[in-house]
Amino acid sequence: MDQEMRERFYREARASGKLQHENLAVVYDVGEIEGRPYIVMEYLKGKDLGAMIKAKTPLTLPQKLDYSRQICKGLAFVHSENIIHRDIKPENIMIVDGGKVKILDFGIARPVSSKLTQAGTRVGTPWYMSPEQIKGDGIDKRSDIFSFGVLFYELLTYRRPFEGDDTTVMYKIVHEEPPALQLDDIEMREELQALLAKCLAKSANDRYNNFAEVTGALEAVEAKWRDQQRIKTLLAEAETLTLQRNFQQALTRFDEILRLDPQHAEAQSRRQECLGQDKDRRTMKVMAGQIVGETISHYRILERLGAGGMGVVYKAEDIKLKRLVALKFLLPELSRDESATKRFVREAQAVSSLDHPNICTVHEIDESENGQLFICMTYYEGQTLREIIRAGKTPTGVASLSSSLDMVIDIASGIAKAHEQGITHRDLKPSNIIITKDGAVKIVDFGLAKLASNTKITKTGTTVGTLAYMSPEQIKGHDVDHRCDIWALGVTLYELMTGKLPFEGEQELSLLYAIVNEEPAPPSKINPAISPALESIIRQALQKAPENRFAAMQEMYEALRKVRQQTSREKGLTETKSEISGLTAKGKMFFERHEYHEALSRFKAVLEIDPENQQARDLAAECEYKLSELEQISLLLDAGKRSFEKGELKEALNCFSEILALDPKHAEAADFVAQIQKVNEQNERIEKLLVDADFYVKREKFAQAVEAYQKILALDPANKAAARGLQKAQKGLEESKRAPAVTPRPRVTTPRPRVPTPPPAVGLPTPLARPPKTSSKTPAGVAWRIAAISVAAIAVIGFGLWQFLRPSSTQPPVEKTAQQSDSPGPATEAQKTAARLRAEAEQAGAETWASTTLQMGVQEQEKGDRAFAQDDYAAAQAAYETAAGYFRNAKTEAQQNLMLAESDVNRLSELVMAVKRDMEREKTAAARAGAPTLARVAFNNGLRLEKDGDAKAAAGGEANWRAAQQAYAGARDSFRQAREEVARMAMTRTRENAENARNEMINARQQVPGGEEDKRANAKYARGLQAEAAGEQQYQGEDYAAAQNSFRQARDSYVEAGRELGTTAAQSQADAARQAMSEAKSKIDKEGAAEPQYQQAVQIENEAGAAYRDNDFDRAASRYQDAEKLYLAVGSAAGDKRSRERERLAAAEREIQNLINSFKTNFEKRNLAALQALNIFTRKDDAEGWSAFFKDRQNIKNIQVVIGEVSRQISGKNATVSFTARIDFENNKGEPKSTTLPVSWKAEERNGNWVIVDYQ
């Protein structure tokens, strides 16, 4: 080894030895043995990249990018050590097992500052050199980036970017651009082309600055490639989901694609198609009655009632208001028709603006989840007039004329009301008139109504309606107005009275012609019972020209009423009384059912027959009052809800209380009252806790204060006062912990009520002592009375000030003292003491003369009872001791106030007025709670006692004042009792509602199919469990309204989970059956597809697909299995056929090859006869020519036949064979000669043998 090579060797060792990186080969040692240098490196098992590229080892784009990224990382580290590799090429890159890249051979690497390679010299492999290396200019780290670009190009394409010998390659590197990446050979071509262009820039300044930038570019390409692959996967999944009609899941795939590539045109287009298909699927479910059991908005669908010209109608339950309703959806074929949609919306607007007993009530208009509009209407049980007529119940006799006239009069009344509001029905017919089971007439389906203010939606020149009831102007496409309804009612009246339509025709055109040009038969000829007056009404309603009909429906209505009254008079007084009795009975029935509109119409009908009927007049007035009351309730309910939402609870409570006063059974108002009372109780509790907490802070009992503030914030997290107080208490608690311990001086504190009770003043005359019997009229008597009152007042005021100013005079929540214990014994004793003192206070008249103090003691006593029940004996003992203090002071206060009252009538009157104010507060609270109606007995008793108290107080005098005091106290207790009774009722009602909701939820959960593990894996079932757990917690916390909502949410989730899980298993079976069928089908070739069995299988497969799309998975699975069996049978038969055909072809090829071999053998043997036996050379000219050829043995010797490529075309029992035969021979001089003979013949299979039938 010369010195230069030795120096290079050691330079490589030095360069490699100081580099430690996961993508660089590790050098362990370097040395010489017998003058031969060596390097000890880590053992690497794998292939170098050059060998892999040369072998064109298949690599995916991610693998290539990964290898390249590892190379860049390794070279970035090398550059960070100020070393340039200068010989980057595939052979210096080792790919070890596991895909790890190792960079080798730093033999020509040099530090950036090295002077070993001078300008003007070239070191490296020519194909991977940078332009500056070739020119011999100074190089830097960017030269390695160029070399990497060449390597990367070669890795991507398996060819170098610059081809040729050394000189050619170096010229191309300096002066030419590499070939562009082929479009069809590589993915991400544009991004990769840009990356390569920057790496292979001729000027180093135009390349990447370092390998970190190259790595970033590679990662960006890889990220985009992953996105594209993900998009492909998502597109395939979306397509499969779409075929399975799982549009919601397909939409999530399209959304994810658009998140990755917002401009992805195919995803945008397919998403829109999927949305349309999803909407169509849901719409078809609506039409097919498959939404029964589902919940749309707040309506639970119960059954499909039928379909009309504009929509399909379902019977449903309004979950919120617990009532049956009818929901009408727009038909699917009209859902994309803007004019139909506008007409549908207009129907709701038109009908909802009408308030008439004979017009169907519309509650609201809404949209389903897929945007399908529907109208919510009152549900009526009964039949349409069309169904009654078809059932043969058409009135045709004199006895039924009155009832028929009643129906027509009701129809005319309703339509007249609509006409007053500028609304024309335009599709009036028997099928749009419902006769309820109670005989009420209801006009429905204003789907073709036209508002006078909006006449542009149905254009002139179009006809909308049912032909038999259409007016001539509608048929002609002329402008129409309200008189087309008069015509339609005339047709209906004619049909109702005669049982026939006035115009008939076997075909549509003949019917239209009759309506426009012919006159109907007189109805009296069909039904002689029709009076001339009624016939005249029918005839006028059916005039061809609108101006010759009644001018208004009201006019027709009045004419019909006159005929009805005349009919009633003709029927006689007895029958009239019977009719009045029937109408009155129906009216009363409707009144009891709170259907006041229906009841009012019956009572008005009675008044039309008998205007002097006082009972009907009174009942009609009561109906009108009830209707106004309902309107008032509706207004109050709306106002109460608004106030409740704004947090104005007082105003809301007033509204709901007024509703309950009007309707004690109004459930929604009662629920709101219960909620408000709960809020108020919570606020009262918070207020009390605030007082206690502030007290604890003042007494520096910070631990108790912190606990109180935390309780407040648990109830009301937004309470700012509690938050500020908590901070102050926590700060105080921390400071108290840091302060040195001080032994407190024992002090006995005596509980006292919030209202101080003054004891008798020491050294002052007792106010109980009566003055000497001196006439109050004398100066001495007056002076004595004034002095006594003054002394008593001074005593009270002084004691109050003393109590207020002394440090321990504030109400003390009792601390746990040494005498208090966590055992029940002391608490029990304290409980008995409190009970005894309470009894003494009540016996002393504390309920009258110290009610406030007594009530505070009762509250503490109840607090103790709760603590005792929870086994918190220390807290119970403290509460009982506090209560005992209140009761003790209440007794003293009552005795003193009583004695003061006895000594001064004015003082007595003030105390009585204080009791009255307490009573009034209780009365107001009870009234707001709805006690006047919900707790009437107790509330009325309070009113009676209040009235007694007012009378006694007005009379004056000591005895009367005492009686007034007792009456007011009794009234106060009655009002309190009434309020508590309402609260219990509301709580009970709310709890019952919650229990009912829980029972429904439990039933729904039990109906969910499948194992527990499968159910819990379902998202909706899991949501149901969460809602159920929340409901149970709320129920235990007595938050029944919230529990009811949670139970209902859980129930709905269980119902949805049951629907999903019920179909999952069947759907999986159907999917498996379809997959098996598809596999069987895929094995059938074109011939098999022509078999009848195959066509039968395709038909069955289509049936299975239809069942699958309709979610009938059981049938789908069965039909897929049937189709699979047929496909397997076809495939098996085709397989056998193919096997036989293959055997036949093989045999034919063998026979043909034998013919070719015979031709060769006999030709070489010059055996013309044998060739002719094969039907070769049989034509005369061929026979003569080849006979001479074979006989010329002198000039033609040693014949050899070489058969060229043979072409065989075998079809059935026929075959065409062609080949070229080269005839080699020697002439008489022994010189080799050769000629070619094109051979072509046709062969046939005869009796199992192939023979040549035509030789050319």
- Summarize pLDDT for 178-198 with one digit per residue, the tens: 988 875 545 678 889 999 999
Q: What is the CA radius of gyration of the chain?
A: 53
Which distant-in-sequence residues (6+ apart) come within 8 Å of 287 by Cβ?
A: 307, 312, 331, 332
For residues 940-965, one letter each, b for 16 or more C-beta atoms within 10 angstroms of the residue's C-beta and e for the rest, the string is ebbbebbebbeebbeeeeeebbbbbb
Residue 812 has pLDDT above 90, yes or no: no
Higher-confidence position of 236 and 908: 236
- Measured distance CA(17)–CA(25) in Å, rounded: 9
Residue 781 has pLDDT above 80, yes or no: no
Q: Which two tokens stand for residue 175?
A: 């002066």
Query: 47-209 — its CATH code?
Result: 1.10.510.10
Higher-confidence position of 171 and 456: 171
- Measured distance CA(825)–CA(415) in Å, rounded: 83
Which distant-in-sequence residues (6+ apart) come within 8 Å of 252 by Cβ?
A: none
Higher-confidence position of 1099 and 905: 1099
Please give the sequence-ordered ranges of beta strands (E in DSSP) within 239-356, or none if there are none: 295-296, 299-307, 311-318, 323-330
- Measured distance CA(38)–CA(17) in Å, rounded: 13
Contact (CB, 8 A) for 494 and 538: yes
* pLDDT tens-place string over residues 239-286: 888 777 777 788 888 888 898 888 888 888 888 887 776 666 666 677
23: Cα within 13 Å, side-chain hemisphere: 17
Q: Which of 870, 867, 847 is nearest to 857 (CA)?
A: 847
* pLDDT tens-place string over residues 223-244: 888 888 889 889 888 888 877 7
Of the pLDDT bands very low, low, confident and very high (cuts 50, 70, 90), residue 94 is very high
CATH 1.25.40 fits 572-646, yes or no: yes
- Measured distance CA(352)–CA(339) in Å, rounded: 20
Query: Parallel, antiparallel, or unpaired: how do β-strands 110-111 and 450-451 relate?
Result: unpaired
| Cα end-to-end span (Å), the chain | 76
Helix/strand/coil (H, E, C) string of 756-797?
Answer: CCCCCCCCCCCCCCCCCCCCCCCHHHHHHHHHHHHHHHHHHH
pTM over 0.95: no
Rounded to an integer, the average pLDDT of 88-105 is 89
pLDDT for 379 equals 92
Q: Which residue has the tokens 């093989």?
A: 1146
Position 721: which residue type? Answer: A
Q: Which residue has the tokens 């919570």?
A: 682
- Measured distance CA(441)–CA(272) in Å, rounded: 46
Q: Measured between alpha carbons, how far is residue 1028 from residues 297, 1006, 1023 in Å? A: 21, 13, 8
* pLDDT tens-place string over residues 4-14: 667 766 776 66
* pLDDT tens-place string over residues 286-305: 766 678 888 988 899 999 88
Q: Which of 772, 797, 798, 796 is nearest to 785 (CA)?
A: 772
Mean residue pLDDT of the chain comes to 81
CATH topology identical between 664-739 and 1141-1255? no
Q: Which of 261, 210, 212 is nearest to 234 (CA)?
A: 261
pLDDT for 801 equals 39
Angle, helices 667-698 vs 1040-1082, to 10°: value is 120
pLDDT for 1247 equals 82
Of the pLDDT bands very low, low, confident and very high (cuts 50, 70, 90), residue 808 is very low
Catalytic residue among 105, 278, 427, 671: 427
| DSSP 8-state assignment for residue 740 | P
Residue 128 backbone dihedrals phi, psi, to 5 degrees: -115, 10
Contact (CB, 8 A) for 1075 and 1039: no
Q: Which residue has the tokens 């040494």?
A: 818
CATH topology classification for 381-569: Transferase(Phosphotransferase); domain 1 (1.10.510)
Q: Which CATH architecture has domain 664-739?
A: Alpha Horseshoe (1.25)
- Measured distance CA(501)–CA(647) in Å, rounded: 62
Of the pLDDT bands very low, low, confident and very high (cuts 50, 70, 90), residue 130 is very high
Residue 766 burial by Cβ neighbours in a 10 Å radius (0-12, 13-18, 19+): middle
Angle (CA) 637-436-464 rounded to 5° is 90
pLDDT for 517 equals 92
Residue 1007 has pLDDT above 90, yes or no: no
pLDDT for 811 equals 41
Residue 795 backbone dihedrals phi, psi, to 5 degrees: -60, -45
Q: Which of 1007, 1050, 1048, 1044 is nearest to 1028 (CA)?
A: 1050
Position 108: which residue type? Answer: I
* pLDDT tens-place string over residues 349-378: 777 777 788 998 888 888 777 677 788 889
Q: Which of 519-523, 951-955, 1056-1060 has the lowest mean pLDDT?
A: 1056-1060
Of the pLDDT bands very low, low, confident and very high (cuts 50, 70, 90), residue 136 is confident
Rounded to an integer, the average pLDDT of 579-605 is 86
Q: Where are the domains of the chain?
A: 47-209, 231-288, 289-379, 381-569, 572-646, 664-739, 906-993, 1007-1067, 1070-1139, 1141-1255
Residue 591 has pLDDT above 50, yes or no: yes
pLDDT for 760 equals 35
Which distant-in-sequence residues (6+ apart) come within 8 Å of 1086 by Cβ?
A: none
Helix/strand/coil (H, E, C) string of 1156-1225?
Answer: HHHHHHHHHCCCHHHHHHCCCCCCHHHHHHHHHHHHCCCCCEEEEEEECCCEEEEECCEEEEEEEEEEEE
Contact (CB, 8 A) for 82 and 102: no
Q: Which of 297-301, 505-509, 660-664, 819-823 has the lowest mean pLDDT?
A: 819-823
Q: Which of 209-223, 456-470, 721-735, 981-995 has the lowest mean pLDDT?
A: 456-470
Which distant-in-sequence residues (6+ apart) come within 8 Å of 294 by Cβ?
A: 300, 301
Cα 775 from chain centroid (whole Å): 89
Of the pLDDT bands very low, low, confident and very high (cuts 50, 70, 90), residue 321 is confident
pLDDT for 331 equals 67
For residues 870-906, one letter each, b for 16 or more C-beta atoms within 10 angstroms of the residue's C-beta and e for the rest, the string is eebbbbbbbbbbbbbbbbbbbbbbbbbbbbbbebbee
CATH topology classification for 1141-1255: Nuclear Transport Factor 2; Chain: A, (3.10.450)
Angle (CA) 306-307-310 rounded to 5° is 150
Higher-confidence position of 807 and 1013: 1013
Residue 803 has pLDDT above 60, yes or no: no
pLDDT for 74 equals 93
Of the pLDDT bands very low, low, confident and very high (cuts 50, 70, 90), residue 124 is low
Strand partners, 1249: 1246
Higher-confidence position of 770 and 908: 908
pLDDT for 514 equals 92
Which distant-in-sequence residues (6+ apart) come within 8 Å of 761 by Cβ?
A: 791, 794, 795, 798, 799
Instruction: State yes or no: is 427 an active-site residue.
Output: yes
Contact (CB, 8 A) for 162 and 150: yes
pLDDT for 235 equals 87
Residue 420, number of CB atoms within 10 A of its CB: 14
Q: Which of 71-75, 569-573, 767-771, 1062-1066 has the lowest mean pLDDT?
A: 767-771
Residues 1076-1085: contacts with CB within 8 Å, 24+ apart?
Answer: 1076/1120, 1076/1121, 1076/1124, 1077/1101, 1077/1104, 1077/1120, 1077/1121, 1077/1123, 1077/1124, 1077/1127, 1080/1124, 1080/1127, 1080/1128, 1080/1131, 1081/1123, 1081/1127, 1083/1127, 1083/1131, 1084/1127, 1084/1130, 1084/1131, 1084/1134, 1085/1134, 1085/1138
Consecutive H or E run containing 27: strand 27-33
pLDDT for 286 equals 74
% of the chain beyond a pLDDT of 90:
20
Query: 289-379 — its CATH code?
Result: 3.30.200.20
Higher-confidence position of 280 and 1044: 1044
Contact (CB, 8 A) for 989 and 674: yes
Rounded to an integer, the average pLDDT of 712-724 is 87
- Measured distance CA(985)–CA(1149) in Å, rounded: 101
Residue 252, number of CB atoms within 10 A of its CB: 15
Query: Parallel, antiparallel, or unpaired: how do β-strands 1249-1255 and 373-378 relate?
Result: unpaired
Of the pLDDT bands very low, low, confident and very high (cuts 50, 70, 90), residue 756 is very low
Of the pLDDT bands very low, low, confident and very high (cuts 50, 70, 90), residue 461 is very low
pLDDT for 456 equals 39
Consecutive H or E run containing 211: helix 211-243
Contact (CB, 8 A) for 75 and 88: yes
Rounded to an integer, the average pLDDT of 710-719 is 87
pLDDT for 564 equals 83
Residue 786 has pLDDT above 50, yes or no: no
Higher-confidence position of 1203 and 464: 1203
Residue 398 has pLDDT above 80, yes or no: no
- Measured distance CA(414)–CA(406) in Å, rounded: 12
